[in-house]
Structure 1
Amino acid sequence: MSKLIFVDTETTGISRKTERILEVACIEVDNRHRTGRQLHQYINPEKAVEAGAFKVHGISWEKVKHEPVFADVAESIIDMLKGGVFVAHNAPFDMGFLNEEFKRAGFDFQIGRDVEVLDTLKLAKEMYPGQKNSLDALCNRLSIDRSSRVLHGALLDTELLIQVYIAMTQKQERFAYAGKKDQHKSLRPVSYHACVLDDDEARAHDEYISALR
């Protein structure tokens, strides 16, 4: 099986048509172990950050205005993703934003066409139907320490997601070589285009996450 590239993004808002990426993280995992290959980059989104998004990740335009724009880092992201499987929690959100940014920057590269996609939110819903399956909820359910997750951040969330995925799929580990097709039956190309907060921030966070689903 291809190597897994775990990905998370933070954005200026929730609409990929009008909002932009301001942070991206990619971490490569092979045979359930990190390879040491990763990419973490803050990005100048060339626009202001919506108040609701800022309450979720705490990244202001002032913080990233001197970072490179997406077009300057697009090739590095593509190189990271090529030959692997794109893994994200609520993958349509992250891949939608990244595909829009690639298109805007003039790169003919599409996640879901040029690389396969694994949506860990979909996987979690299949494993835990009717339960909360946010990254926070999964960390709690699987006894993964998320105490350092005060606000959303692409790199930290990606590192937590790796632990969540490995914990969710640990029963399959013994079949890694004997039953690859069964183990990864949910892997296929797709075509579709969390934190310690006060009460107000928690409400804003819930509204923001609900809008992503």
Structure 2
Amino acid sequence: MRQIIFDTETTGLDPAQGHRIVEIGCVEIVNRTVTGRNMHVYLNPDRDSDPEALAVHGLTTEFLSDKPRFEEIADELMEFMRDAEIIIHNAAFDTKFVNAEMARLGKPAMVEYCGKITDSLMEARQRRPGKRNSLDALCDFYGISNAHRTLHGALLDAQLLGEVWLAMTRGQDALLIEVEDDGTGAQAGAEVMGRFDASGLPVIVAAAEELAEHQEYLLVLDKSVGGACVWRTYDPLPPAGEAAPAG
């Protein structure tokens, strides 16, 4: 299974108002493993960024002036994403920009090249309804450090989202659902998700040599406490040299 974590930075909020992409970051995941194969490009948008957008990503017109334009990297980008599942946080925003760039070139929409597009924001909202599900909030929730994220950057955000995605979709690793205090002292949501059935677990019986070593260790404990160690309360086996009671 090949997935691409995808993110962009732009000159503003709406391509219909002439705004363009200034940075693209892609991180490849294969069979739930980050491969280290990325695609990262800065783009010349042939316009200034809105002040609000510039405050977010910090990519100045001067810095971007000698960078390639989207049409120069479009084929490489689509080939990198080909047939993969594309995972984007708030996918509607990024895809409308990519699709606008592709339309300018007379090329099909982004979805025509990849396997499918998955919105990680929608997935997070389903798993954490009513919670803040921004990338920063999810990093905090899943214990992923984003201390180095002072400005938004497409590759850095894609790398963080990749970690969040793997953590968010790894499956349930606890028997209890998330517990919250409702302010009354009662803990809501503490019910057990399901009873654990151990009947299918394999039973591995200790070998005679292992049992003998265990008894020798208990004798050492007995000697150190000057009597029977507390383990004897739970240990069904008699001390070494004694016969087990008939039963």
Q: Distance in 1 between matches of 2:56 and 2:139?
A: 18
Q: Greater CA radius of gyration, 1 or 2?
A: 2
Query: When the two structures are aligned, how many residues end up with a matched partner?
Result: 171
Pair 1:40 & 2:36 matched: no
Which has the bigger relative contact order, CA under 8 A and spacing at least 6?
1
The equivalences for 1:116-127 within 5 A come to 116-127=116-127
User: Cα RMSD (Å) of the superposition?
Assistant: 1.3
Q: Indicate the SS of the match to 1:122.
A: helix
Deviations 1:52-110 (A, max 9, x none): 101111111111110011000101110111110111100111111011111112323x2
Query: Counterpart in 2 of 1:79?
Result: 79
Q: 2:169 aligns to what?
A: 169
Q: Read off the aligned partner of 1:48 and give its amino acid letter.
A: D
Q: Distance in 2 between matches of 1:132 and 1:113?
A: 32
Instruction: Tell me the distance in 2 between the aligned counterparts of 1:82 and 1:55.
Output: 33
> In 1, distance between residues paired with 2:159 and 2:34?
10
Letter in 2 for 1:13: G
Question: TM-score normalised to the size of structure 1?
Answer: 0.77
Q: Which residue is equivalent to 2:13?
A: 14
Q: Report deviation, 1:111.
A: 2.3
TM-score by length of 2: 0.67
Structure 2 residues not aligned, in runs of 5+: 174-247
Q: Secondary structure at the match of 2:96?
A: helix
Percent identity reads 39
Q: What amino acid is aligned across from residue 9 of structure 1 in structure 2?
A: T
Runs of 5+ unmatched residues, structure 1: 174-213
Larger proportion of helix? 1
Distance 2:8 2:172 in 1: 28
Q: What is the distance in 2 between the residues matched to 1:150 and 1:50?
A: 19
C-alpha distance after superposition, 1:158-212 (max 9, x if no partner):
0000000001011169xxxxxxxxxxxxxxxxxxxxxxxxxxxxxxxxxxxxxxx
Report whether the alignment pairs 1:104 with 2:104: yes
